[in-house]
Amino acid sequence: MVTDYSDKNTALGALYPAHVDELRARHDHALDNAGASHVVIFSGCPKTVFLDDNPYPFKANAHFLSWVPLTALPLSYIVYTAGEAPRLIYYLPRDYWHSVPDQPAGYWPDQFDIRVVHSPEDVAKHLPNDRDKCIIIGEIDDDAHAFGIERVNPTSAINILHFARGIKTEYEIACMRLASQRGALGHVAAEAAFRDGAPEFEIHRAFCKAVSHTDNELPYGNIVALNAHGAVLHYTELERQKPQHIHSFLLDAGAQVHGYASDITRTYSFNDVRFAELVERMNTAQLEIVAKIKPGVDYSELHVETHRMLAAVLVDAGLATGDPDTLLTTGVTTAFFPHGLGHLLGIQVHDVGGFMENESGATIDPPSGHPFLRLTRKLEENMVLTIEPGIYVIDMLLENLRGTDAERHVVWNSVNWLRPFGGVRIEDDVRVSATGCENLTRDAFAAL
């Protein structure tokens, strides 16, 4: 069943004015810090393949999307001046070769002074006259798209906006709840296809149909991994033929609503009891990690604590021997779990600001030996982030343990058993609440 998300727009519309007010306040602060009077935000320009006239899929500038739910509107601009209603310069081409955007409609237009233009050249008349007092935010590959504005993506303003974006408004959280519900529908459909013995490509199609997305509308490329493919962290090949023997299935796939993403991973055993038990151990460990989420938690410390928790899973599953601290310091846990515990989530799947210590741009490095952690901030209320521990058989990493103190702590026969299954990852999206967290993913599955 495909859900029509347009029927949720009344509720979103009630939250949207406060969201715009918050954006105005953030941009007031950014403008003041940058010594500017106006911010112009470019949605982006379609790009063509080298020596071709075929365009790549268009992805709108996230700064633009934070203001308006228009994921497929190129060559358009937001203009904001402190104390004034934000202006939307809405590009509506006269074109009979391609479909064109609809007229502005829905829960959002009454928050804007909308100026419809039919050619890029018409944009200039709707921009502030004092270009020297403007900053522009966006990917400006062609000077013509800047219309004489010389200050492009000033660091001081970008830092303020990126740091603030770590905290989501009630409108954004509502969109992400809907994206979680949509993503859960896709996961249920994909698991059913897996149980029916479908190959990766057909499982992917089942997911896309359930969430009503084309590939280009997905927030990121689906990871649809049967068997040992589950050990390839960003596997995206999509085999057309099913394997001779089906052992396992790892699905990392999300959906989006009005540009806001969900990011969900589940792992399944086909009929192997031992692997099913490992999946359940990981599920339990993942929920224990989620239970630790609350304001003030240092996410870097939680990532390291996760390694200790996974060390216990490795020992319990017969994959390693030794105490958690030994398995951590010798590098055993990193060989089995090389990626970060999670990341900020929002308009961008790996949302910006994860390393920022403050709005001035100072950063917090990941813990030593853990370079791939994407979130090092202390958690605050209304951050939305992922929790995604995993255990994998990645031979190039495990082989690095040979000849070191770590080698004797690995139960290599058990590694050989796990190799055909690839690995296990469980991922939920959670919102930090005042005293704990809201699990958007588990709530979405429970509501089906």
pLDDT in tens, 202-256: 999 999 999 999 999 999 999 999 999 999 999 999 999 999 999 999 999 999 9
Write down the pLDDT at residue 259. 97
pLDDT, tens only, 80-106: 999 999 999 999 999 989 889 999 999
Write down the pLDDT at residue 8. 75
Write down the pLDDT at residue 433. 98
CA distance 448 to 444: 7
Is pLDDT of 283 > 60?
yes
Handedness of CA 134, 135, 136, 141 (dihedral sign): positive
Q: Yes or no: say if 153 and 136 are a contact pair by the CB < 8 Å rule.
A: yes
Q: Residue 196 burial by CB count (10 A; 0-12/13-18/19+): exposed, middle or buried? A: exposed
Q: Which of 88, 423, 375, 448 is nearest to 268 (CA)?
A: 423
List Cβ neighbours of 403 (8 Å cut-off, separation of 6 or more).
none
Mean predicted confidence (pLDDT) in 8-33? 95
Domain 5-164 sits in CATH at: 3.40.350.10
Chain position carrying tokens 């609440």: 433
Q: Residue 234 burial by CB count (10 A; 0-12/13-18/19+): exposed, middle or buried? A: exposed
Q: Which of 97, 43, 41 is nearest to 70 (CA)?
A: 43
CA distance 187 to 268: 11
What's the one-letter identity of residue 330?
T
Proportion of the chain above pLDDT 90, given as a percent: 97
- What string of DSSP letters covers 71-128? TT--S-EEEEETTSPPEEEEE----SSS--PPPS-SSSGGGSEEEEESSGGGGGGGS-
Computed over every residue of the chain, the mean pLDDT equals 96
Q: Yes or no: say if 176 and 261 are a contact pair by the CB < 8 Å rule.
A: yes
Is pLDDT of 2 > 50?
no
80: enclosing H helix or E strand: strand 77-81
Q: Where in the sequence of the chain do the CATH 3.90.230.10 domains occur? A: 170-446
Is pLDDT of 178 > 50?
yes
Mean predicted confidence (pLDDT) in 376-392? 98
Mean predicted confidence (pLDDT) in 139-162? 97
**Helical spans, DSSP H, in 242-323:** 273-290, 299-316
- Structural tokens at position 316: 């319990």
Q: Which pLDDT band, with edges at 50, 70 and 90, does 76 fall under?
A: very high
For β-strands 264-269 and 384-387, DSSP reports them as unpaired
Q: Where in the sequence of the chain do the CATH 3.40.350.10 domains occur? A: 5-164
CA distance 173 to 167: 10
Task: Tally DSSP H helices, then E strands, for the chain.
Answer: 12, 15
What's the one-letter identity of residue 148?
G
Q: Yes or no: say if 330 and 305 are a contact pair by the CB < 8 Å rule.
A: no
| DSSP helix/strand/coil, 79 | strand
Q: Return phi, psi of residue 108, to 5°.
A: -110, -25
Write down the pLDDT at residue 73. 97
Is pLDDT of 169 > 80?
yes
Q: Yes or no: say if 212 and 2 are a contact pair by the CB < 8 Å rule.
A: yes
Domain 170-446 sits in CATH at: 3.90.230.10
Strand partners, 90: 116
Q: Which of 239, 228, 166 is nearest to 202 (CA)?
A: 239
Write down the pLDDT at residue 5. 57
395: enclosing H helix or E strand: helix 395-399
CA distance 256 to 267: 21
pLDDT, tens only, 297-332: 999 999 999 999 999 999 999 999 999 999 999 999
Half-sphere exposure for 340 (CA within 13 Å, toward CB):
21
> Alpha carbon of 20 to those of 62, 126, 290: distances in Å?
15, 21, 31
Burial string for 388-425 (b: 16+ CB within 10 Å, else e) reads bbbbbbbeebbeebeeeebeebbbeebbebbbbbbbbb
Q: Which pLDDT band, with edges at 50, 70 and 90, does 1 fall under?
A: very low
Q: How many CB atoms neighbour CB 286 within 10 A? A: 24
Is pLDDT of 71 > 60?
yes
Is pLDDT of 402 > 90?
yes
